[in-house]
Amino acid sequence: MSEEKNEEAVTEEEGIIELIDDENNVVKFKLLDVTEYKGEKYTLLLAAEPNDDVAEDEVVIFRLNEAEETLEPIEDENLLQEVFDFYQSEAEDEEGDEGDEESAD
């Protein structure tokens, strides 16, 4: 993906985000989630259609700049891993909470 800020276009009905890559091609993603980590918001995206740059099950993470309404690429591999690990632990906690509520019935 581009090292420049990517403009996004969200199609509400389909939940699709379109980003422009380095060769000015439109790449479509599904919004998996938005999470907040260390005071910053991050989007977690999945490829909406097959492409050469992103595997079907690969999660792509961008920093969400709400003021400029843009997604910013993250160059720091350690930060990417931290955000992904944080997201997974949050998702597991939510699943655990739902299971606790069901067993309380």
Cβ contacts of residue 50 below 8 Å, gap of 6+? 56
pLDDT in tens, 82-101: 999 999 998 888 877 766 55
| pLDDT tens digits, 42-53 | 999 999 988 888
Q: Indicate the domain borders of the chain.
A: 6-103
Tens digits of residue pLDDT in 16-50? 888 888 888 888 999 999 999 999 999 999 999 88
